[in-house]
Amino acid sequence: MFLTDHKLPLGQVISDFVDWLIMNFSGFFDTISDVLSTIISSTTAALLWFNPLALAVIFVALVYIIQRSISLTLFAAAALLLILNLGYWQETIETLSQVIFATLVCIVIGVPLGIVAAHKRWFYEVLRPILDLMQTVPTFVYLIPTLTLFGLGVVPGLISTVIFAIAAPIRLTCLGIQDVPEELMDAGKAFGCSRWQLLTRIELPHAMPSIGAGITQCIMLSLSMVVIAALVGADGLGKPVVNALNTADIALGFEAGLAIVLLAILLDRVCKQPTARGEK
């Protein structure tokens, strides 16, 4: 049949494109890969330099300072001690630094893109399908090219995580800024704000709760990627899960899974906006 005989070479085109990238820019990708993995591994090393108990105390203190909640602080202490007890401290710290780093990258790229999207209609229109694509294309599909470009290890995991998680801060930053009441903007203009001042004095403060929600979501999405990151060689809590899957080890899988869940709950609660900000 004609239709099936003349297959469109879509897959081949993408594959050739990736090959071309490797041929011409492998140095560039290697540098990125080296820089990123150095940053992450040194962050991990720095955190692991501390005595685990001392670090746990610092974390618990931070939780209290940020949220001022006794019950949450107690929960944090219990969760960290349990992780220590189960013997997943190093993996947890590795995952934590990956998540933090991925989130930072998402914020640094995502928030400015969100700001531009909120102001430029056409940019938003272009961006929206791309964001939809990034969130819906199965992770494994772009894991393969990132793997070939950046090699095994933590970097392809990080890139995949960023691709998957960056939509949240972009969308919510954009939403938060579009949501600024017209009257507040008028007030800003009437009192002589420049465009930059309008952004920093009115739009960003108003969008802050929304941006905060975006960042929290971003952290959660990054955490959900740890197992997939482990598949391409990233260290962390994903690794024992993958091992457990390969060896059908129920005990190992459960413990590592529990550690991920505890870390997720902890990060979520800590990042949540304090509710009593006096806003309606």
Partner 1 sequence: MSAIRFENVDVIFGKQSKQALELLDKGLGRAEIFKQTGQVLGVENACLEIQKGEICVLMGLSGSGKSSLLRCINGLNTVSRGRLLIEHNGTEVDIANCSSSTLKDMRTSRISMVFQKFALMPWLTVHENVGFGLEMQGRSATERKKIIDEKLELVGLSQWRNSRPSALSGGMQQRVGLARALAMDGDILLMDEPFSALDPLIRQQLQDELLALQSKVNKTIVFVSHDLDEALKLGTNIAIMKDGRIIQHGKPEDIVLNPADEYVRTFVAHTNPLNVLCGYSLMKPLDQCKREGHDVCLDRARDYWLSLGDGHSIKAVRRSGDTLGVQRWVPGEPVETLKRQPTVVDAAIRMRDALEIRYQTGHKLILQQDGRVVGLLGDTELYHALLGKNLEKGHEESEVTPLRAAFSQAG
Contact residues for partner 1 (CB under 8 A)? 181, 183-184, 186-187, 189-194, 197, 201-202, 205-206, 208, 277-280
C-beta of 13 vs 120, nearer to partner 1:
120
In the block, residue with structure tokens 């040194």:
42
Least spacing, CB of residue 189 vs partner 1, in Å: 6
How many Cα neighbours within 13 Å face the side chain of 150? 24
CA distance linking residue 148 with residue 156, whole number of Å? 9
Report residue 103 as tokens. Answer: 């989130």
C-beta of 5 vs 183, nearer to partner 1:
183
Contacts of 215 (CB under 8 A, 6+ apart): 103, 106, 107, 169, 271
Question: DSSP letter string over 183-194?
Answer: HHHHHHHHTT--
In the block, residue with structure tokens 């690794």:
239
Q: Of 63, 88, 91, 58, whose CA–CA distance to 75 is shortest?
A: 63
Least spacing, CB of residue 270 vs partner 1, in Å: 21
Contacts of 74 (CB under 8 A, 6+ apart): none
Contacts of 253 (CB under 8 A, 6+ apart): 240, 241, 244, 245
Least spacing, CB of residue 207 vs partner 1, in Å: 10
Least spacing, CB of residue 190 vs partner 1, in Å: 4
C-beta of 6 vs 280, nearer to partner 1:
280
Least spacing, CB of residue 206 vs partner 1, in Å: 7
Least spacing, CB of residue 237 vs partner 1, in Å: 37
C-beta of 115 vs 167, nearer to partner 1:
115
CA distance linking residue 151 with residue 12, whole number of Å? 21
Helices 52-67 and 70-86: crossing angle in degrees, nearest 10, is: 160
In the block, residue with structure tokens 């997939």:
228
Least spacing, CB of residue 72 vs partner 1, in Å: 24
How many Cα neighbours within 13 Å face the side chain of 152? 5
C-beta of 67 vs 197, nearer to partner 1:
197
Least spacing, CB of residue 202 vs partner 1, in Å: 7
C-beta of 68 vs 195, nearer to partner 1:
195
C-beta of 48 vs 184, nearer to partner 1:
184
Q: Residue 68 burial (CB < 10 Å; 0-12/13-18/19+)?
A: exposed
C-beta of 178 vs 243, nearer to partner 1:
178
